[in-house]
Amino acid sequence: MSLQKETYLANNNVKKDGIIQEWSTEEVTEYAKCMKDPSYFTENYVKIISLDSGLVNFNLYEYQRKMFQQFEESRFNVVLACRQSGKSISACAYLLWYTLFHPEKTIAILANKGATAREMLSRITLMLENIPFFLQPGCKALNKGSLEFSNNSRIIASATSGSSIRGLSVNLLYLDEFAFVERASEFYTSTYPVVTAGTSTKVIITSTANGIGNTFHKIWEGSVQRVNGFKPFRVDWWDVPGRTDKWKEETINNTSQLQFDQEFGNTFFGTGDTLVNSQTLLEFKALSPIRSLEDHCLQIYKAPVNKHEYIMTVDVSRGRGQDYSTFNLIDISVRPFKQVAVYRNNTISPLLFPNIIYKYAKSYNDAYVIIEANDQGGIVCTGLYYDLEYENVHVRSALKADQIGVEMNRKVKRIGCSALKDLLENKKLDITDENTILEISTFVSKGVSFEASTGNHDDLVMNLVMFGYFISTQYFSDMTDINIKQLMFKHKMKQIEDDIVPFGHIDDGEYHIEGPTEERPWALDHKDQNF
Q: Where are the domains of the chain?
A: 7-263, 291-506
What gap in Å lies between CA 41 and CA 98, rounded to an integer? 11
Helix (H) or strand (E) run with residue 406 in it? none
What gap in Å lies between CA 178 and CA 219, rounded to an integer? 10
- The SS3 call for residue 85 is coil
pLDDT of residue 217: 86
Query: Please, what is the Cα angle at 507 between 501 and 513, to 5 degrees?
Result: 50
CATH architecture of structural domain 291-506: 2-Layer Sandwich (3.30)
7-263 fold:
Rossmann fold (3.40.50)
Catalytic-labelled residue, pool 30, 177, 425, 451: 177
Going edge to edge, which strands form the sheet with 172-176? 139-142, 146-149, 154-159, 106-111, 172-176, 202-207, 76-81, 231-235
E strand residue ranges, 51-105: 54-57, 76-81
C-beta separation of 326 from 353 below 8 A: no
Query: Please, what is the Cα angle at 476 between 475 and 477, to 5 degrees?
Result: 90
The answer for residues whose C-beta is within 8 angstroms of residue 330's C-beta and 6 or more apart is 310, 311, 312, 313, 337, 338, 339, 340, 429, 467
Query: Please, what is the Cα angle at 340 between 334 and 344, to 5 degrees?
Result: 150
Q: What is the three-state SS of 94-129?
A: HHHHHHHHCCCCEEEEEECCHHHHHHHHHHHHHHHH
C-beta separation of 120 from 156 below 8 A: no
Q: Is 119 a catalytic residue?
A: no
- How many C-beta atoms surround the C-beta of residue 29 within 10 A? 11
DSSP state of 386: I
- Tens-digit pLDDT string for the chain (531 aa): 444 456 666 677 888 887 777 889 999 999 999 999 999 999 999 999 988 888 999 999 999 999 999 999 999 999 999 998 999 999 999 999 999 999 999 999 988 788 889 999 999 999 999 999 999 999 998 888 899 999 999 999 988 765 555 557 889 999 999 988 877 877 787 777 767 777 788 999 999 988 776 789 889 988 887 888 899 999 999 999 999 999 999 998 988 777 788 789 888 766 557 899 877 887 787 788 999 999 999 999 999 999 999 999 999 987 665 689 999 999 999 999 999 999 999 999 999 999 999 999 999 999 999 998 887 888 999 899 989 999 999 886 654 545 787 888 899 999 999 999 999 999 999 999 988 988 888 888 888 899 987 767 899 999 999 999 998 877 777 777 665 555 554 545 555 555 544 444 333 343 333 333 444 333 323 333 332
Q: What does DSSP say about strands 7-8 and 11-15: parallel, antiparallel, or unpaired?
A: antiparallel
What gap in Å lies between CA 289 and CA 273, rounded to an integer? 30
- The SS3 call for residue 388 is coil
The answer to whether 7-263 and 291-506 have equal CATH topology is no
What gap in Å lies between CA 523 and CA 531, rounded to an integer? 11
